[in-house]
Amino acid sequence: MPDVRFTQRSVRKALFSLDVSKSSGPDGVPPIVLKTCVPELAPVLTRLFRYSYSQGVVPNSWKTALVHPIPKKGDRSDPSNYRPIDITSLFSKIMESIINCQLMRYLEDHQLISDRQYGFRRGRSAGDLLIYLTHRWAEAVESKGEALAVSLDIAKAFDRVWHKALLSKLPSYGLPEKLCKWITSFLADRSIKVVVDGACSDYKPINAGVPQGCVLSPTLFLLHINDMLLTGSIHCYADDSTGDALYTGRANISRENVAEYRDKLVSEVESLLNKVSDWGRLKFSPVQSPEDTSLRVYR
């Protein structure tokens, strides 16, 4: 991949794409100000982004986030019943969007993201994955075969990405040294503070995970989880994964051998789970609800 290029045109495009209805970043600068001042800001930001990229340094002020907890259903005294919304620097988002556009184009053009990954990719959706898997399993059943599937949910997947492991994978995708260095700085020394009714907590350092609320984070997560899809028959929509094993009626299985083939399916799925467990050093905990049975994954 060639080094990321920052032009006034790309900066202007990113500035004009800002949603003025969104909140200001931690610096308090509202997006409408940035969008209104595009002619004045574009040359300055272009030079700033080029310097940041060439030096491999992300300003510390871009690496802080304000976390607004939004209550979900349930007991409001339980912290797990809140959904955190991270507000990050708009200047960082603008630079990230330029990097992400060129990075994703490179990854897609060179087919470096597994075809079994449907999340955060242009032209793909959760519905596409559902249709594909439904067709795959229906084809097996309709041919008098069988399919066995297991759903995997990596608990707090984005928050538990190990930085050292992610950064070690970047050169293998052909990313330039300057970009790898910039991403290293982007992930390092991040912090958050919680805001409730105008009151703020002290800053808390964040040493793992891809930063929520950042444009580049979904792509970094795809790069981190990509090699997991090489472990076997497993398909993903971002971190929501489904592994399966099947056989079709074309195998000409006699009734006497059905039990043997079912055991084989179970063994294949167990082998897949072991490979996934080894990949991420994960522990599996089965979770059963009245509606379905799934498998939740904990690190």
pLDDT for the residue numbered 287: 56
- Work out the average pLDDT over 202-219: 94
Residue with tokens 């007991």: 75
Q: Assess contact for 101 and 219: CB atoms under 8 A.
A: no
Strand partners, 79: none
Residue 171 included in any domain: yes
Report the C-alpha gap between 7 and 101 in whole angstroms. Answer: 13
| pLDDT at 297 (0 to 100) | 32
The answer to whether residue 151 sits within a structural domain is yes
| pLDDT the model gives residue 181 | 98
Q: Residue 2: inside a domain, yes or no?
A: no
Domain with 276 in it:
8-298
Whether 212 is covered by a domain: the verdict is yes
- Cα separation of 32 and 159, whole Å? 30
* Residue 277, in any domain of the structure: yes
> Taking the model in full, what pTM does it have?
0.88
Which H or E run contains 236? strand 234-237
Compute the distance between CA of residue 264 and CA of residue 268 in angstroms, rounded to an integer.
6
The answer to the question of residue 1 being in a domain is no
Q: How many domains does the chain have?
A: 1
Query: Is residue 168 situated within a structural domain?
Result: yes
In a domain, 27, yes or no: yes
Residue 18, pLDDT above cutoff 50? yes
Rounded-to-integer distance, Cα 137 and Cα 140, Å: 5
